[in-house]
Chains A and B, each alone.
Chain A
Amino acid sequence: MMRGAVDEAKLLLIGIPVAIWTLLPIYHMFLFSISSKEEAFSGKAWPDHPTLRNFGVVFREQHYFLNHFWQQFANSLLIAVAVGVLTLAVAATAAFAISRLRTRGGRVVLNCALFTYFIPAAFLAVPMYKAMGAYSLLNSKWSLILAMVTIASPYAIWVLKQASDRLPYELDEAARIDGASPLQLFRLVYLPLMAPSLVAVGTYALLLAWNEYLYAFLLLSRDQDITLPVALGHFLSADDSPWELLMTAGLVYALPPAAIYYAFKRYMVAGLTTGAVKS
């Protein structure tokens, strides 16, 4: 009894500061979004006249910086989903080939995948820009999609390979004896059993693309092509930034990841830690 209480107290002692530390900026953002322009910088913990007007302005694109808000939101969404799906396709097939089919050279691919993380993504931004230029992909959504798939894939392959290794190999042998071709094995046995890890890795890639700023900034430039984070960045280019609108748009921008996180939380934890399926 005593011990439990002490442990709990310790946990709270750590937990409360951490919670405040992470929640404060979010609360701040929320405050801005329900304050009028005049009240935004009043420094109060709760506005005198909370209002939802800012949301109306954002949703109806009633400001110069918000002219393409929904278009940009859609761009972000499309790009993020495409990156998630393509990364999964690349990583699942690679992990399957390396881990289950024991393709020759698999180790080399894995080591290369790990090695790419010694090079910061920012270093590759300019070469990537040149490469996209060479393929005339600049200003096309494909440039950002391909760039993000490139960045997300090595880690995704690595994680899926580890998870694949934990599937009992006898399942593959049983399927082979049952007459499954490698593709049938992939589709009918491997993918269903890997589902938790696939969800986790797909979500990882999707959020990576959703959050990306640097590459989006470099590769896309027309107002109707850019993604939300870049558009939000434009707010800061004015001397008199409409902070309350920036924060409101930011809050809307932060909602999908939170929703995805809650929808797939179960899989994220299971996928990234255990990933194993008992036979």
Chain B
Amino acid sequence: MSSVSFHHVEKSFGATKVIHGISFDIADGEFMVLVGPSGCGKSTLLRMLAGLEDITSGTIAIDGRVVNDVDSKDRDIAMVFQSYALYPHMSVRENMGFRLRLRRADRREIDTRVARAAQILKLEPYLDRFPRELSGGQRQRVAMGRAIVRDPKVFLFDEPLSNLDAKLRVQMRSEIKALHQRLKTTTVYVTHDQIEAMTMADRIVVMHDGRVEQIGRPLDLYDRPNNLFVAQFIGSPAMNVVSGTVRRHNGSAWLEADGVRWPMGEVPGAEGQPVVFGVRPEHLDLARTDGDHVAGDVIVVEPTGAETELLVQVGASQVTLVTSGRPRVRPGERIALAVEPGMGHVFDRESGQRLVD
């Protein structure tokens, strides 16, 4: 049980700076997900926490103790790698007990702890197999088993599900989550998949180009993204964005974009200000033509059963609309759209920052 804190952490490889001063804290027992596009520095940050990379400047502390100069093995962390990094020449049992064996724990203790971990992860039937005799999902479990046998202060995961097929990924996602709820060990989990981040995290750190874009609870990021990057990164299908200019007249406000008038309702932004207007697909509704609306032409209709996704051409932009049920519209048809009141997001076009309301 431990907290972790990053304080102005920077990292350079040679002359290239890849982490630009990152600070945040992870509470004891928290499941923190680092998410961002590939190459943004997530793994590097995690590896610095693991002691696999030097910290160029700043400090990382575990449980209040600065660990910059502490060896990996003395940080009391366990890491699950994307490739699992199981020792190919050791059985599942030996893989899981390796750390304890190195610490010269006695045989009985190793056996009981391995057995307990195997039971939690349902690995008992496989203890005497070798990694090459296991399926991807089972290897993944062994990698986690190796981590939990040690009962570390912090679990580190680096894209642990990327090598699994889609179905198994969903299953392992809930297993990891359940495991965390059971053990309550502080966890730092790296992924580029925002759905994994949303579904698993207590809090999310959204990273981009070696910087933190926003930190918060999943739904807070979803509902109030601080900037355009987070707005478009979190959520699937992605948020619709339209650039234009704020217009205000007689107490009503709208966005003017390529001759299209988007009613925005109560939103910030001064008359004439260049902005980007964002709205999530589920906050666009099919509307009646007699109210405030935007007209568009349906390009694609994708029914998924419970919901229907429409791709609609509005002026020069294409927007996505998700609606529950099965509306009777066809490609080529002209429809009316409305933004649910209060559900629009407005960002400054220059800085990409959210305009505060």
Interface residues of A (CB under 8 A from B): 168, 170-171, 173-180, 184, 188-189, 192-193, 277-279
How far, in angstroms, from A279 to B99 measured CA to CA in the complex?
A: 18
Contact with A along B66-90 (1 / 0, CB 8 A): 0000001100011101011111110
Q: Would you call B15 an interface residue if the criterion is a C-beta within 8 Å of the partner chain's C-beta atoms?
A: no
Pairs A–B under 8 Å by Cβ, sample size 15: A168-B85, A173-B52, A174-B79, A175-B87, A176-B51, A176-B52, A176-B73, A178-B73, A178-B102, A178-B146, A180-B73, A188-B98, A278-B88, A278-B132, A279-B84
Interface residues of B (CB under 8 A from A): 50-52, 72-73, 77-79, 81, 83-89, 98-99, 102-103, 131-132, 146, 150
On chain B, the residues within 8 Å of A170 by CB distance are 81, 83, 85
Could you tell me if A179 and B83 are in contact, using CB atoms closer than 8 angstroms? no
Question: Of B72, B131, B150, which contacts A279 at CB under 8 A?
Answer: B131
Identify the closest chain A residue to B143 (Cβ): A174
Q: B63: shortest Cβ distance to chain A, in Å?
A: 17
How far, in angstroms, from A30 to B73 measured CA to CA in the complex?
A: 62
Known: A279-B85, A279-B88. 17 other contacts (CB 8 A): A170-B81, A170-B83, A171-B87, A173-B81, A174-B146, A175-B87, A176-B51, A176-B72, A178-B73, A178-B102, A178-B150, A179-B99, A184-B102, A188-B98, A193-B88, A278-B88, A279-B86
On chain A, the residues within 8 Å of B79 by CB distance are 173-174, 177
Tell me whether A178 and B88 are in contact in the complex, defined as CB-CB below 8 angstroms, given that A278-B132, A279-B83, A279-B131 are known contacts: no
Identify the closest chain B residue to A179 (Cβ): B73
How far, in angstroms, from A192 to B63 measured CA to CA in the complex?
A: 37
Could you tell me if A189 and B73 are in contact, using CB atoms closer than 8 angstroms? no
Could you tell me if A193 and B85 are in contact, using CB atoms closer than 8 angstroms? no
Question: Of B85, B98, B99, B103, which contacts A173 at CB under 8 A?
Answer: B85
How far, in angstroms, from A170 to B146 measured CA to CA in the complex?
A: 14
Identify the closest chain B residue to A192 (Cβ): B89
Interface of A is mostly: helix
How far, in angstroms, from A164 to B255 measured CA to CA in the complex?
A: 61
How far, in angstroms, from A106 to B89 measured CA to CA in the complex?
A: 27
Question: Of A171, A178, A192, A278, which contacts B99 at CB under 8 A?
Answer: A178
Could you tell me if B86 and A177 are in contact, using CB atoms closer than 8 angstroms? no
Identify the closest chain B residue to A170 (Cβ): B85
How far, in angstroms, from A173 to B78 measured CA to CA in the complex?
A: 11
How far, in angstroms, from A15 to B85 measured CA to CA in the complex?
A: 44
How far, in angstroms, from A190 to B85 measured CA to CA in the complex?
A: 13
How far, in angstroms, from A277 to B88 measured CA to CA in the complex?
A: 8
Q: B42: shortest Cβ distance to chain A, in Å?
A: 16
Tell me whether A177 and B73 are in contact in the complex, defined as CB-CB below 8 angstroms, given that A168-B83, A184-B102, A279-B131 are known contacts: yes
Question: Of B50, B83, B84, which contacts A177 at CB under 8 A?
Answer: B50
Identify the closest chain B residue to A180 (Cβ): B102
What are the nearest 10 A-B pairs in CB distance? A179-B73, A170-B85, A174-B85, A178-B99, A192-B89, A179-B102, A170-B81, A177-B72, A176-B72, A178-B98
Could you tell me if B78 and A189 are in contact, using CB atoms closer than 8 angstroms? no
How far, in angstroms, from A173 to B146 measured CA to CA in the complex?
A: 14
On chain A, the residues within 8 Å of B99 by CB distance are 178-179
On chain B, the residues within 8 Å of A173 by CB distance are 50, 52, 79, 81, 85
On chain A, the residues within 8 Å of B51 by CB distance are 176-177
On chain A, the residues within 8 Å of B81 by CB distance are 170, 173-174
How far, in angstroms, from A279 to B102 measured CA to CA in the complex?
A: 21
On chain A, the residues within 8 Å of B86 by CB distance are 279
Identify the closest chain B residue to A171 (Cβ): B85
Identify the closest chain A residue to B98 (Cβ): A178
Identify the closest chain B residue to A167 (Cβ): B88
How far, in angstroms, from A168 to B77 measured CA to CA in the complex?
A: 21
| Most B-side CB within 10 Å, residue of A168, A174, A175, A192 | A174
On chain B, the residues within 8 Å of A189 by CB distance are 87
On chain A, the residues within 8 Å of B84 by CB distance are 279
How far, in angstroms, from A178 to B103 measured CA to CA in the complex?
A: 9
Question: Of A177, A184, A277, A279, which contacts B78 at CB under 8 A?
Answer: A177
Q: B273: shortest Cβ distance to chain A, in Å?
A: 50
Could you tell me if B98 and A177 are in contact, using CB atoms closer than 8 angstroms? no
